[in-house]
A = this chain, B = another copy of it.
Amino acid sequence: MQFNGVLDHLKIYEAGKPIELVVREYGIDASDVIKLASNENPRGCSPKVIEAVRDEATKMNLYPDDSMYELKEALAQKYHVNESNVIIGAGSDQVISFAVHAKANPNTKVLMAGITFAMYEIYALQTGATILKTPSAGHDLAQMRDIYRANPDISLIFLCLPNNPLGECLETKEVYDFLDEISPETLVVIDGAYQEYASFKDPAKKILPNDIISKYPNTLYSGTFSKAYGLGGMRCGYGIAQPEIIKALLKLRAPFNITNLTLKAAIVALRDDAFVQASVKENFEQMKAYEAFAKELGFKTIESYTNFIVLEFDASQNSSVIAQKLMEKGIIVRNLGAYGMNAIRVTIGTPEQNKRFFECFKTLYM
Contact = CB atoms under 8 A, between A and B. Distances in A.
A153 to B, nearest CB: 12
A38 interface: yes
A259 B233 contact: yes
Interface stretch (A96-104, A158-166, A191-199, A351-359): A96-104
Contacts of A40: 61-63
Contacts of A292: none
A1 B185 contact: yes
Contact of A21 (B67, B102, B230): B67
Nearest to A90: B90
B13 A97 contact: no
B63 A38 contact: yes
A342 to B, nearest CB: 25
A215 interface: no
Contacts of A254: 13, 90-91, 93-94, 97, 119
Interface in A51-97: 53-54, 57-67, 69-70, 90-91, 93-94, 97
A102 B259 contact: no
Nearest to A251: B10
A257 B234 CA distance: 10
B45 A60 contact: yes
A35 B66 CA distance: 14
Interface stretch (A133-141, A242-250, A312-320): A242-250
A204 to B, nearest CB: 29
A146 to B, nearest CB: 24
A233 B62 CA distance: 5
Nearest to A233: B260
Contact of A45 (B61, B104, B119, B231): B61
A124 to B, nearest CB: 13
Identify the 9 closest CB pairs spanning chains A and B, nearest first. Answer: A15-B66, A233-B260, A10-B251, A61-B230, A18-B65, A15-B255, A12-B250, A3-B248, A54-B54
Nearest to A19: B62
A111 to B, nearest CB: 16
Contacts of A245: 1
A49 interface: yes
A256 B230 contact: no
Given A4-B105, A60-B50, A187-B1, A235 B250 contact: no
A307 to B, nearest CB: 11
B102 A4 contact: yes
Contacts of A187: 1
Interface string A224-268: 001000111111000000001101101111111111111001000
